[in-house]
Structure 1
């Protein structure tokens, strides 16, 4: 019997897509062990009912391992290298025990783990499984276009685009990412490359290692659709033996068949499989109900972005100046340390023009008819959710894959505008007006967004490419299980 262990990097942008894939595999009748760090699991338990619901399924269980960091450590994602090193050095044996209990007996009487789906950014998941001869597939939670850009870093070093030369022209086209030579600028390269001062930079080394690992997995799983990233996927196929595009996962989860009679799995809505490190404030949905169709600007910079108080004020004035009502997610830790106090006028005017929440049920917000625009940090989950909902975007990327995503949104898919590296109030106001008002640009963006939404939804329907690829993925996992048992019986 196939038993899949899923191991994501313990962060907001990584765990939710892993949970969606895990539930899909559970619906397909597989045993699922989902591994979280103890700290991340406690936070998700405190804020997300999804965790409790999934834990109650017949063949679905959570297991936790320590991450080796102190209780008071903030575990900021921008310090991900330190988190990864702690996991690599202090969690190895705990992970090994989950893959194969030392006494040889599973505490629940489950079959042995026959396949690992590991986070492509978490080398530990791959390395230990390989040591124990357990087949590994890798899930990358970012876009295919950003994964290809990461993979191209050695070429970019060779062409001199990385590290950035002193006083580099940020709008100069780069030639080291195959297929993107005509539109990818230096400022559109993955944000983590901006701070590298030499080729020995630890972040560059990590990114190159993670990219090299792509070819080591039995397959690469991606939360995207062929219709969305086909040209880039053709490049990735030159280095990965098998690629399964199964996105958008939230749409596939809504569409994927009926439950097996032996599985206690209810049909899930997008909302019920939302997972967050912060408690969602659902009162904002009622606030949205009071506004006309496509009248509200939804603003969220995700789970990692940190802004200065000055930038916050500029966004604020730009939004107010646009004349549009807005729903704005402002996390408790979003403003730079020591600069947390919000301007008094922001709080006052928000009651008149906007709605401020610490965290929102984003998939439901984007699907709400009153939302007409998404001012976003361009994280891949947010980008894909906006595409599914057919909501045009204003992109203000912070770091990592977000710079690449925002360029594709504005220049390739043409479902939004790219505002990277700018946040002056006049710029914000102008961008909102351009997207929300009834001019030619706004109409074209809405048309393109609706067409793209239709395409990716079709891909996740029965007979669509993502739906079919998921079935192939399940068959592949089952075949690995059969090979393992056949191998054991032949010994």
Structure 2
């Protein structure tokens, strides 16, 4: 039986950089496989991507790759800063997005054969079911966080949540299968620290996480070799799971195989990168620099930035520090003042930029350690690059990820819930000097595993092939599709 055209796949991420990053990479992987792609962004983020990247020109190389836009349901003057996206799920706002999505799907030509949507956008499942379109959820956070969030009702029933004050933070959690031996209260996602389990955000997380089981399948950005035991647990509730990560390494592997090593990859950033830091790294000795970056959403106080800075300055390594604009909370202009002051004092030991080309930095031979907020994309980029990590998590899945890095994978240290210059100094020295070879060896072994997983015959490589074939099969069953033999 033949098909009259390529399968048309619609991608729809949550409009924040950490969610968009892996989804645009998967969209390119499917474009490489010959699918027609529509990548749907909010109007606001689409404009930012066009301003700071060559996204439009880059994707012209793929026939049938369209960049679509949709409302995020919010007023035009909404600041969309910090942890803002839960505002999208308020009833009236969600209804606007849902209606806009439905209208687009009804009118788009050629029709959409399969939707790959962010697992937080549960309302897209309702639209897909109404229109008879197969739908796959992509959970862009870590598998351990997905599984922990799925298990929140079980933790509440067992009396393990809520957490009873600071003295309770080191109590082991025993009702999340596969994580009983090493996950404490302080390692649960940040939203689990709410004193009231009727908290609206917790209810939203549980609802969206459990709704993923209603999709035709679930995609996770990991490899069987990294998260095998937890993937086995997730499959008890979501039978079809495609582990196709680390997706940045898988994309590089497939693109290089098709186009060669010199191929320029797309940098999908919502902020302007300062590439001068790479020239500074070129002048540093191998594995001598600690790279410190806290992601696209982390906010910190003036005091926290100063403690982190002193810890880096007092350590025995040079450093590259990223301080994102408006990320330091203080009175008007106070954050900028402290950054300028630190920059003047740092010239001999380090370099400060607003935003860095992170994958290029992590893969630079001068970088020997990564002080990170433990976002899942950053964590995987560190794993692929073979760079040991010092984890200072901020929110959401980052508390879970930092525990995985330190206690499960043993490729770094966990600094959660403290921000003290002496601890920063000690942990940087442990990773960069005192235990350098121990951490470098374990990180190199983990990196090797990930490269095997994304190479021909590897688990993630094979799982992507399976996903591609299954989408083609799903497409044949889509009602709008014209099929002839």
Q: TM-score normalised by the shorter chain: which range applies?
A: over 0.9
| Corresponding residue for residue 99 of structure 2 | 93
Shift of 1:167: 4.4
Mapped contact 2:225–2:450 kept (Cα < 8 A):
yes
Count of aligned positions: 475
Report the equivalent of 1:429: 425
3-state SS of the aligned residue for 1:179? coil
1:384 paired with 2:402, answer: no
The residue aligned with 1:163 is 162
Cα distance 1:33–1:475, how it changes in 2: closer, same or farther (>3 A)?
A: same
Question: Partner of 2:478: helix, strand, or coil?
Answer: helix
How many Å separate the matches in 2 of 1:42 and 1:66? 12
TM-score, normalised via structure 1 length: 0.93
Distance 2:244 2:263 in 1: 16
| In structure 2, C-alpha distance between the alignment counterparts of 1:241 and 1:178, rounded to whole Å | 16
Cα RMSD (Å): 1.9
In 2, are the aligned partners of 1:6 and 1:22 still within 8 Å (CA)? yes
**Of 51, 56, 72, which residue of structure 1 is paired with 2:77?**
72
Q: 1:462 aligns with which of 429, 432, 456?
A: 456
The partner residue of 1:325 within 307, 318, 321 is 318
Who is 1:263 aligned against? none
2:209 and 2:426 map into 1 onto residues whose CA distance is 38
Partner Cα distance (2:150, 2:86) in 1: 18
What's the CA shift for 1:268?
Answer: 8.1
Alignment of 1:284-303 (within 5 A): 284-303=277-296
Instruction: From 302, 312, 335, give the equivalent of 1:340.
Output: 335
1:125 aligned residue = 124
Show CA shifts across 1:397-434 (max 9, x none): 00000000000000000010000011101000000001
Quote the residue 1:35 is aligned against: 40
Cα contact 2:391–2:414 (8 A) shared by 1: yes
Q: 1: distance between equivalents of 2:262 and 2:471?
A: 25
Q: Is the 8 A contact 2:388 2:443 kept in 1?
A: yes
| Displacement of 1:41 | 0.7
| Pair 1:6 & 2:11 matched | yes
Give the 5 Å matches for 1:219-230.
Answer: 219-230=217-228
Partner of 2:3: none
In the TM superposition, residue 256 of structure 1 has moved relative to its aligned partner by 1.7
Give secondary structure in 2 for the equivalent of 1:35. Answer: strand
| Deviates most, 54-63 or 142-151 | 54-63
C-alpha deviation, 1:445, in angstroms: 1.1
Q: By how many angstroms is 1:141 displaced?
A: 0.5
Q: Distance in 2 between matches of 1:84 and 1:24?
A: 29
Q: Structure 1, residues 211-241: CA drift from partner, whole Å, max 9, x if none?
A: 2112111111111100000000000010112
Q: Deviations over 1:224-271 (max 9, x none)?
A: 1000000000000101121111111111112227888xxxxx568796
Q: Give 3-state SS (helix, strand or coil) of 2:328's partner.
A: coil
Q: CA deviation at 1:55?
A: 4.4
Any stretches of 5+ residues in structure 1 without a counterpart?
261-265
Q: Distance in 1 between matches of 2:320 and 2:44?
A: 30
Residue 152 (structure 1) aligned with residue 154 (structure 2): no
Which residue of 341, 347, 365 maps to 1:369? 365
Residue number in structure 2 paired with 1:201: 199
Native 8 Å contact 2:300 2:328 kept in 1: yes
Match of 2:63 in 1: 58
**Shift of residue 352, structure 1, vs aligned partner:** 1.9
Query: Over residues 130-177 of structure 1, what are the superposed CA-to-partner deviations in whole Å (9 max), with x where a residue is unaligned?
Result: 221111001011111111111111111122232222444211111121
Runs of 4+ in structure 1 over 4 Å off? 257-260, 266-271, 485-490
SS of the residue 1:352 aligns to: coil
Among candidates 276, 285, 290, match of residue 269 of structure 2:
276
Deviation at 1:198, TM superposition (A): 1.8
In 1, the alpha carbon distance for the partners of 2:337 and 2:405 equals 31
SS of residue matched to 1:273 = coil
Q: Displacement, 1:84? A: 3.0
Gaps of 5+ in 2: 1-5
Q: Deviations over 1:341-393 (max 9, x none)?
A: 44364122222211111111000000000000000000000000000000000
1:452 has 2:451 as partner:
no
Secondary structure of 1:446's match?
helix
For 1:412, the equivalent position in structure 2 comes to 408
- TM-score, scaled relative to structure 2: 0.94
